[in-house]
Amino acid sequence: MQIIIQSGKDGIKEWFLVEMQGDLESRNNEQLHGKFIGDLHFTKQGVPIMIIGHHILYGKEVELDLPLVAMTKKKPDTCFQGDRDSEELVDMEDLNSVSYDASAIIKKKLIFKSRPKPIIANVPKKV
């Protein structure tokens, strides 16, 4: 069976994999899937910084040993796309074959393994 892999309409983007140590929980125990977690910034030296609420995490950028590819599966055409009166022979395996769109490649990961540090604003002391 032949598996077809194509790049998406906009070409292949580059994504990062984010690795964090520990647990990430919301205050009201909601699912975090698809929700805003925090901000990701980079310093002038290229050090990744993650700000989550009132906490800051410092990380590092690491190359992956083997790159990963994010793909989306395209459903096979279940109906005949050509002219029904046409006498052209169509291979049924081609009609039911699966193809994939490569939407992104992942070559690097950002590792945040230190404990989060609280962000404290400068509060003037009373004399």
What is the per-residue pLDDT across 61-77, written as a single tens digit (0 to 9) for each? 999 999 998 888 877 65
- As given in the structure block, the two tokens for residue 102 are 């490569």
pLDDT value at 14 more than 60? yes
State the first-to-last Cα distance of the chain, in angstroms, to the nearest integer: 79
Report the percentage of the chain scoring pLDDT > 90.
29
Name the amino acid, one letter, at 5.
I
Are 32 and 79 in contact, with CB atoms under 8 Å apart? no
Asked if residue 113 has pLDDT above 80, the reply is yes
Higher pLDDT, 99 or 47: 47
DSSP code for 96: T
Confidence of residue 79 (pLDDT cuts 50, 70, 90): very low
Cβ contact 24:75 at 8 Å: no
- Arithmetic mean of pLDDT, 75-87: 52
Question: What average pLDDT does the segment 80-84 reach?
Answer: 49
- For residue range 23-34, what is the model confidence (pLDDT) as tens digits? 888 778 888 888
Q: What is the pLDDT of residue 48?
A: 94
For residue range 43-64, list pLDDT tens digits in order. 999 999 999 988 999 999 999 9
Which pLDDT score is estimated for 27? 79
CA distances from 31 to 9, 35, 80, 116 (A): 31, 8, 42, 21
